Structure 1
């Protein structure tokens, strides 16, 4: 049997190794962050500042705009909190709220949730191909510093249909929906057999990279200058991936951190949407506190959620149906109860992140939290004037930044500011035009 041509071999094997690498790289766990005990391959010296992190949360049915946004005339640091932001008033100085922001040319209604962290245009069009998400862009550059380059989480997500995390080739990274499984991967030590199998997968990934590089190298003598330059870039990428695979192999023999929290029980029904959300916030907080990963995404798939339970409220209709309220007072009241519960859970997350100190600051100070939606108004499916709240991360907060609500300011500019905060000088990202205007470092 003849060997496949190099181009076919590269394409086929890269697909296999990528799936194995993603699955493999998410099985272990980093050591907890301790100022007196830093992993040798995580930070070069104890004098370096503690790491910075990112959590991106998208509720794909958004929030009632009239309850979320402060008045457009109420700007700056003296703005008056909106009804929903009143729920977060204890953290007023820890977050910034934006009006008049969106992703340029990201339309299509519900499909736009897949572009919340990519800003790829026209997701509802035929032949659409997504681009790399913010978390994966950063993970490709700093993900090797932790056992988990990233975590992709979800609540009530239809399997394989939605995610906030996308690879550079536009492939969806499936969400993990079980809090118990996230906890297991973070904190429960694998058996010697499981560790050996994990090392075998990592070794296989590296051997595939070696083989691909070997076949591609044989082509070099027959290529022109431009193609040789492209091939050199390819080799650089292969070597980088090999180094990251090596780092992943080192983590297999590092003990997992001990936490006082018990492994959670998975809610049995999609009705338990809010409890699932709370548990995923807890998993994100624990992952940050133990420096297990620095990139987390959480898709709150409200579109696929049924009539959900909210403590103290009577919800009689499905979440998606409520979003198309037609200004019905009954539906609006139920939807407001759901939205307020979202704000309450977000406030709990902020409180938890602020309760842990790290390098003279809190974990919230070191963690950028982006909370928002792909829909400015779920009732009409518009994708402009997105409800967006940005907390933590070492920025000057406590303000309402107002931009043109007709010709929106590009939200990807915030991504550039976040990349710079991570120490990644990358400009532009997606459809950005610069850094986020009005957002200053603390």
Structure 2
């Protein structure tokens, strides 16, 4: 019942509007968008966010000493040839992001208290980026995952706090980037886009009629809805142009998907390859990858026998056998990162290493998976045009806000941003190259 006019508001109308609102995240993540071509003088910059939701053994990750003369830890020695290409952080966390395992969905949002009743997530860093520069590429963003329960765990969240499901099949990602549909398939997709736009127009028209009789607070919320509708209508309109634009030539055969969750490292390597290909082809400039270790089984490693599930191992109780297996798993993560960094350095764009134009954020929502603490998060930033080769160490008891790093990254992308989530400014000590 409308409290001002006393008129009943049809529930069906609200459900129609909400239905489209809930569909927005899927459309934003799946629908191509077209914009003006970047200026020739513009340097394309990109973002890859990776979260391993069981983290690493902190005693083997964090280095000794700070600054540029730090002593590399066991794990960082595996990245030694890229020492000048990354910065490692300690004593950082997301203020008020607690709750243990549920905090993984806040890795790129920093929304507080994810395990509390009534929690609603906020926009993730990658989607904030996609909203600003996503129209420059065929895909505003890509949301990838390994062992994410059918894509239902994710790092990517829309401005309205709705999860964007992960894509777990490299073959599907590859085909989306490089396989051109037949003329009939292209026109069918264009018709779907046109139909989506007409549905939005119809719902928006109904909502405008309703707006006149609503209280001020409801009118404000409806205005926000209109903004989302207008933005999506624009994306749908220009998306038709992308459908008819030829895709880049495939760099090789379609990759073979790995169906066995136990082959976690092989799946991770493939996803790193897909992210690299996405950046090389400029298909997108914003990618996230959720490594869902919590839901991974006993892993198959080439050089070490693993006897328990990944999650069980994380609760090691200081067992030497479990710690040894965890260290072997963690070292494989570092080896794969080493391979990713190498491949992006070897790939050139305008004669420059692609790594110099790609910010890679690697970390976890847990500082110590054994105790579920969400402070002192293991965090590493590589590439992207910063002056690296250092350890920025902050107070490990009273942590420095990690969202400050997000602000620095947004500014490096050329975006006018002075805050993100619970940030207090830019990342202290991090300088441009």
The equivalent position to 1:288 in structure 2, one of 275, 279, 288, is 279
RMSD (Å) for aligned C-alpha atoms: 2.2
For residue 410 of structure 1, what is the aligned residue in structure 2? 401
**Number of the residue aligned with 2:192:** 201
Secondary structure in structure 2 of the residue aligned to 1:252: helix
Give CA deviations for 1:332-374 in whole Å, capped at 9, x if unaligned: 1111111111000001001111112223422111111000001
The 3 A distance-change label for structure 1 pair 405 and 247 is same
Query: Which residue number in structure 2 is paired with residue 33 of structure 1?
Result: none
2:31 maps to 1:25? yes
Q: Deviations over 1:240-282 (max 9, x none)?
A: 3222222221110111111333211112311110000000000
Q: Kindly indicate whether residue 294 of structure 2 is the aligned counterpart of residue 303 of structure 1.
A: yes
1:53 corresponds to which residue? Answer: 46
C-alpha distance in 1 between matches for 2:204 and 2:312: 52
CA distance in structure 2 between the partners assigned to 1:399 and 1:392 by the alignment: 13
**Which residue does the alignment assign to 1:15?**
22
Q: What TM-score does the superposition give when structure 2 sets the normalisation length?
A: 0.92
Name which of 375, 379, 390 aligns with 1:399: 390
Distance 1:153 1:17, change over 3 A: closer
Q: State the 1:160 CA deviation.
A: 5.0
Structure 2: 5+ residue stretches without partners = 1-8
Match of 2:249 among 258, 262, 265: 258
Correspondences of 1:356-371 after superposition (within 5 Å)? 356-371=347-362
C-alpha separation in 2, matches of 1:24 and 1:118: 20
2:5 corresponds to which residue?
none
Pairwise CA distance, 1:199: 1.1
Return 105-114 or 158-167, whichever deviates more.
158-167
Aligned residues of 1:24 and 1:201 also touching (Cα < 8 A): no
Aligned length: 425
Gaps of 5+ in 1: 31-39
Q: CA deviation at 1:229?
A: 7.1
> CA offsets, 1:372-424, max 9 Å, x none?
00110111111100000001111111100011100100101111111111222
Compute the displacement of 1:169 (Å): 1.5
Query: Given that residues 17 and 205 in structure 1 are in contact (C-alpha distance below 8 angstroms), is that contact kept between their aligned partners in structure 2?
Result: no
Output one character per residue of 1:16-48: Cα deviation in whole Å (capped at 9) or x when no partner: 4554x246416xxx9xxxxxxxxx9453432x2
Please state how far the C-alpha of 1:318 moved relative to its aligned partner: 1.4
Distance verdict in 2 for CA 1:23–1:365, change over 3 Å: closer
Match of 1:62 in 2: 55
Shift of 1:286: 0.3
Counterpart in the other structure of 2:4: none
User: Which residue of the partner structure matches residue 344 of structure 1?
Assistant: 335
Q: Do 1:50 and 1:359's aligned partners in 2 also have CA atoms closer than 8 Å?
A: no
Structure 1 partner of 2:240:
249
* More displaced 10-residue stretch of structure 1: 227-236 or 339-348: 227-236
Provide the C-alpha distance between the structure 1 equivalents of 2:315 and 2:338, rounded to a whole number of angstroms.
26
Residue 239 of structure 1 deviates from its aligned partner by 2.9
Whole-angstrom distance in 2 between the partners of 1:24 and 1:69: 38
Contact 1:367–1:392 under 8 Å retained in 2: yes
Spell out, residue by residue over 1:285-326, the C-alpha distance to the aligned partner (whole angstroms, 9 max, x if none): 000000000111000011111111112112122111111111
CA distance in 2 between partners of 1:154 and 1:225 (Å): 41
Say which is worse superposed, 219-228 or 199-208, in terms of deviation: 219-228
> Counterpart of 1:316 in 2: which secondary structure?
coil
TM-score (norm. length: structure 1): 0.90
Q: For 1:8-407, what aligned pairs fall within 5 Å after superposition?
A: 8-16=15-23, 18-19=25-26, 21-22=27-28, 24-25=30-31, 41-46=35-40, 48-71=41-64, 74-159=65-150, 161-219=152-210, 235-407=226-398
- Mapped to 2, the partners of 1:409 and 1:52 lie a distance apart of 26
Q: Which residue does the alignment assign to 1:37?
A: none
Query: Displacement, 1:7?
Result: 4.1
